Amino acid sequence: MMKLKLLVILLILTSLLNGCNKEDNTYPLEFFEISNTKLENLQLNNVNKIIVEKIINKRLSAFLFTDNENSQINGGINLNDKSYYIGQVSMENTPDHLMGIAEVQVFGKKAVKIYGILGANYAQAFYWFVEEKTEDSIIQIDGHTMEVDLDDDGKKEIVSTSGTIPETKIYILREGKIYVSDINKSIGAKSVFLQDEDKKLFQVYFEPNKSEQYVYYKYSFIKR
């Protein structure tokens, strides 16, 4: 009898929770911690040509280069008179407007964004947090990226979108660590993308030809 009462209570609670979720259209997002990009020492005699260089200050700079092995475009940084290789940034003959280096603010920190494309629908970016320890200073993100203050706290998060059917992720800083949420998987949506950067509105499709608008707030997606 006691087990039956407990089962009834659990069913009622589940129904109430589902009803609340449906009524206020709030979807909690799942977040997972990401790893930093491992840096390798770069021997400057392996650099064939520097394509773009961004001088941050006397001891910090970032650059795009080709090496002596192939024509792919790689990324490197100079830090305290040492050079490091961060990885392939873009493919050969990438148009100038699709790759580059820019100083940005992310998570309330100063960062350098090094970005490019590796295919027709494959963009990526590296973020170098210049004030962090060297081994913890760079993350790599797939997709077209933008920096947006989603929760109006004065600190910008990173939004990335990839694929012909858009899949969108949000990167946040929590307790000193960087976490990511795959929005499509978290809320069960077929397509998600940031429609209006100024209003921070996301266009969401749970089914074809039927879009809804959502905003991000406190680790959740809320319908507008």
* 130 neighbors 149 (Cβ within 8 angstroms): no
Sorting pLDDT into bands at 50, 70 and 90, what band is 70? confident
Q: Tokens for 26?
A: 């709030």
Residue type, 211: S
Residue 7 included in any domain: no
Residue 35 included in any domain: yes
Model pLDDT, residue 117: 97
Q: Domain tally for the chain?
A: 1
Alpha-carbon Rg of the chain, whole angstroms? 21
Domain span at 182: 24-223
Tens digit of each residue's pLDDT (9 = 90 or more) over 172-183: 999 999 999 999
Is pLDDT at 18 greater than 80 in this prediction? Answer: no
Which residue reads 């004065």 in tokens?
A: 154
Residue 17 included in any domain: no
Model pLDDT, residue 24: 67
